[in-house]
Amino acid sequence: MTQFGTVVPLVTARALSAREFTYELPEGVGKGAVVSVPFGRSRARGVVVEVVDAPPEGVKALPIEKVVHELPETLIDLALWLAEYYGSTPARALELVAPVRRARRKEQTPPGERQSLEGEAAPERLSDPQVAAVSRVVEAMDAGGGHFLLYGATGSGKTEVYLQAAAAALERGLGTIVLVPEIALAPQTVGRFRARFGGSVAILHSGLTDAERRDERERIASGEARVVVGARSAIFAPMRGVGLICVDEEHDASYKQESDPRYDARTVAAKRAALEGAVALYGSATPRPESWERLERLDLGQRLGGRLPPVRIVDLRREAGYPLSAPLLAELGKLAENGGKAILLLNRRGIAPALHCRACGTTFRCPDCDVALVLHRDGSLRCHHCGHSEPAPEECPVCRSADLARIGAGTQRLERELAAKVPELELIRLDADTASDPEQLAAALRRFREADRVVLLGTQMVAKGHHFAGVALAAVVDADTGLGLPDFRAEERTFQLVTQLAGRSGRDAPGKVIVQSFQPDARPLELAARHDVPRFLADELVRRKELGYPPFRHIVRVLVSGPSEGGPQALLEELRAGLEGAGELLGPAPLLRLRGRHRAQLVAKTSEPRRLAGRAAQLLAAAAPAMRKAKLSAVVDVDPQSL
């Protein structure tokens, strides 16, 4: 009997990528098959999303050309759900689970062997809270799944719970996916899992080459690799029989994808766990208010084998030195004399965030974006949004004054000042300018682990989840960089960043933490200095409930960009009219111009994000011809991490 399949062609155009087509299938081909099909005058890759008995009336179904490979059916269900929830299209969502596979040219060693740090031996015994947490996770695994928040101070043993739970999953013939927020955290996590599970660990992230990604996906699909470690895209690993999904540092905004479909890997992890009957385990020392409010909590308590280090807040209003205050220099001097390691966080790259003319007030800005250009060490001014670069001038092009001021400090300036004032210390910088290559990143972290009298300095990636022995000092060079942002999550982010960095110090010996700020009395800093996570979250939940922010309501925004200032605004006005009654609508409002395109957004607070996002996607699909003519592009963003 001839069978037919509903196929979604993997094309990018919104009008076509939202449609399904019917093809004739060979015997044995079913849902989840990635196929090559005739499509118009050419051919396209597609995914079979359903097997049907007959094509629609009046449709002559063409046969597929070939089967490329096959995916687990749960991944197809996951992608279709993702498209609907995030207001995207089936084709764009299916691309996430069915990326293009490159032809094999040569055999190569798995990337995990080159991109991992050395692991650690299993502890002789677990703490009582760890035993209780593992038991609860395994109980849920045997009962068909569940969702948990693994909460505990930095150093309380969350990773060991992941490892024990993964071992329990493997004993039951089930696989494990471990998510980390950034590639920078992968080497240490991969090393710890490889130390327990050897070659059965695969790695997936955007820093892999196409060939490496293909090889790792094949190892996962064949069942050779039953543990996957990676950044957000690893949630789409082609693994069958998933029993456990661990989301480490679950508070981190890097889990949100910033291109269509704008999925949140934490939410997708919850959905995949539900589809697989698996356990989703979210771990953090500074959880999101959403997780604190909604999830069953497994509390690990305080740090194993010691107390959290004392935190000193330095009032920069009373300090002559910036970015290095006198108290910070004194502590660095002790390191130079006595030995030890330090981690310094400054969440800005470059030499200075802006170059400013003292005479006429001109700030050098990107010609294509409404943002200041950042001064870098090589004498260039660069835009960190579009990549525009130009030589830094010797005089102001407006008034010809040579009196140009460098405003603020970035990681390159911090590195230069450290080299001048504490030359005895080895410096390792970790930011987006230095950590683009995964193998170089692993080498830098290995150097820091093995060295003495060394400083790891960089942007927020140095505060995330790293566990190094001998860190005697952790310092936030400027805690104010995020406090002034016009975002309801600004205080949450500042609290998390300071608390997380404080946790890098004193894990195996006495440590100190210094936080430099021009706002030393700010609530997030005071509570972070006391390591008071429950109090911060309790206060934050009260504030969010009053204002109707997550977790009490969802936020959906529609972002439109175009070549003229009025185009995005006009489209969003029409969209607003079509969304009336779907939630509390705010805007449309203009945003900063980026990459030469004007932008505007419409924001909605709603208790039904899926319905609102779906309606917005329908309206945008209907407007697609007019949008193409006006050269407008639009994305629907459910649960955005910044506004």
Q: Is the pLDDT of residue 103 over 80?
A: no
What pLDDT is recorded for position 15?
60
Query: Which of 5-9, 202-206, 394-398, 459-463 shows the lowest mean pLDDT across its residues?
Result: 459-463
What pLDDT is recorded for position 388?
87
- At 22-80, the pLDDT tens digits run 999 998 899 999 999 998 888 899 999 999 988 888 888 899 999 999 999 999 999 99
The pairing of strands 21-25 and 62-63 is parallel
What is the domain class of 311-350+409-544 according to CATH? alpha beta
What pLDDT is recorded for position 125?
93
What pLDDT is recorded for position 508?
66
What pLDDT is recorded for position 124?
86
Q: Is the pLDDT of residue 546 over 80?
A: yes
Domain covering 3-97 in this structure, CATH number: 3.40.1440.60
* Greatest mean pLDDT among 398-402, 433-437, 553-557: 553-557
Q: Report whether 409 contacts 352 (CB < 8 A).
A: yes
What pLDDT is recorded for position 440?
78
Q: Is 629 exposed, middle or buried (0-12, 13-18, 19+ CB in 10 A)?
A: exposed
Q: Report whether 153 contacts 181 (CB < 8 A).
A: no
Please tell me if the domain spanning 311-350+409-544 has the same topology as the one spanning 554-638: no
What pLDDT is recorded for position 365?
85
Mean pLDDT of 581-606: 90
Which of residues 211 and 179 earns the better pLDDT score?
Answer: 179
Mean pLDDT of 479-491: 82
**% of the chain at pLDDT higher than 70:** 95
Domain boundaries defined on the chain = 3-97, 127-299, 311-350+409-544, 554-638
Homologous superfamily in CATH for domain 554-638: ACT domain (3.30.70.260)
- At 611-635, the pLDDT tens digits run 999 899 889 989 989 999 999 999 9
Q: Is the pLDDT of residue 329 over 70?
A: yes
What pLDDT is recorded for position 194?
92
Q: Is 296 exposed, middle or buried (0-12, 13-18, 19+ CB in 10 A)?
A: exposed
127-299 CATH fold: Rossmann fold (3.40.50)
Q: What is the DSSP string of 252-263?
A: -GGGB--SSS--
Residues 6+ apart with CB under 8 A from 411: 346, 348, 349, 350, 429, 431, 433, 457, 458, 459
Query: Which of 472-476, 477-481, 572-576, 585-589 shows the lowest mean pLDDT across its residues?
Result: 477-481
- At 254-275, the pLDDT tens digits run 999 988 899 999 999 999 999 9
Q: Is the pLDDT of residue 376 over 90?
A: no
How far apart CA 427 and CA 302 sit, in angstroms, is: 31
Mean pLDDT of 569-587: 92
- At 363-375, the pLDDT tens digits run 888 888 777 888 8
